[in-house]
Structure 1
Amino acid sequence: MDTARRTARVFLFNSENRLVLIKRTRPGRDPYWVLPGGGIEPGETPEDAVHREAFEELGAHITAVHDAVTLHSTPTQILFIAKLVDMDVNARTGTEFTKPDRGTYDIELVPPEALSSINLQPPEALAFLRENPAVFSRT
């Protein structure tokens, strides 16, 4: 049985092909941006997890989900590409929003030309976007 922790994250694009990211601001750290996503729960497929996490973190429904890349880091991160259907930030349900000591989780829509000016984590996600610029027009 595989007990290694795995996460599912998504390169999520809105109708203007802007990347939907979460800006993390934590006490004592410089801001950084992350892809929506999180841990894969027992019995859940990575694709199921990315749908669930998009709703929990963004209040979003997504479509056109397909594999992008797997990062063999700790934890293993399975990255998907998807299109935003709709988003209601008031519907966010993630437990992280009830813990003010964890900082803020602001949603930002980032155009491709702005990626070089933000600290996107993990760095491999930014590298993937730089190596695959057509991803912005594929969704």
Structure 2
Amino acid sequence: MRAARPAARILLVDAQDRVLMFRFTPDDRPPLWCTPGGAVDSGESYAAAARRELWEEVGLDIDCGPEVAQRTIDFVTFDGVEVTADERYFRVDVDTCEVKAGNLTEQEQKLLVGHRWFSRNDIATFDETLYPADLVDLLDATEPRHAR
């Protein structure tokens, strides 16, 4: 039986309309890229988790605004747990951003090996796995919301 995994994910978009992605290199699968974010802690709201994750992974301590999208997806975590994730997306637009993690977990310190800002064209032509797979559609469907 799959475990439930509520998660908050952030679409961090810069002034050049590029989205931030992190590269992970797990032992059990090819390298992959995903948006900032992660599991919601017990008792935490999705919005609070988005803000916490943005600080932990990017170094920005700001309100991520309203939820802009939701998806449910089955996958296997880096710990080998089969989950059904209820992912809530938050879009934050910034002029520029220095990525400087505030508090990575031990697992992230081991597996997170870099970041990159992706244009829509980069996403469409990239040769490694990007999550979510419908990232361009998700970006197109969400309205820019500048961080305060």
TM-score if structure 2 supplies the norm length? 0.71
Name the counterpart of 1:111.
119
> 2:22·2:112 contact (CA, 8 Å) conserved in 1?
no
Match of residue 92, structure 1, among 73, 86, 102: 102
The 3 A distance-change label for structure 1 pair 17 and 75 is same
Question: In the alignment, does 2:53 pair up with 1:53?
Answer: yes
Q: CA deviation at 1:97?
A: 5.8
Q: Which residue of 1 aligns with 2:80?
A: none
Change (3 A) 1:111 1:62: farther
Aligned to 1:80: 90
Higher helix share: 1
In 2 relative to 1, CA 54–116 (structure 1 residues): closer, same or farther, beyond 3 Å?
Answer: same
Say whether the 8 Å CA contact 2:10–2:89 is kept in structure 1. yes
> TM-score with structure 1 length normalisation?
0.75
Q: Where in structure 2 are there 5+ consecutive unaligned residues?
A: 74-83
Q: Secondary structure at the match of 1:55?
A: helix
Compute the RMSD of aligned alpha carbons.
2.8
Q: Deviations over 1:63-89 (max 9, x none)?
A: 562322111231111111112376454
CA distance, structure 1, for counterparts of residue 97 and residue 140 of structure 2? 25
Q: Which runs of 4+ in 1 moved over 6 A?
A: none
Aligned 8 A contact 2:15 2:96 in 1: no
Name 1:26's counterpart in structure 2: 26
Identical-residue share of aligned pairs (%): 24
User: Residues 96, 88 of structure 1: CA spacing in aligned structure 2 closer, same or farther, 3 A cutoff?
Assistant: farther
- 1:106 partner letter: G
Task: Name the count of aligned residue pairs.
Answer: 131
- SS of structure 2 residue aligned to 1:75: strand
Larger CA deviation: 50-59 vs 110-119:
110-119
Structure 1 spans left out of the alignment, 5+ residues: none
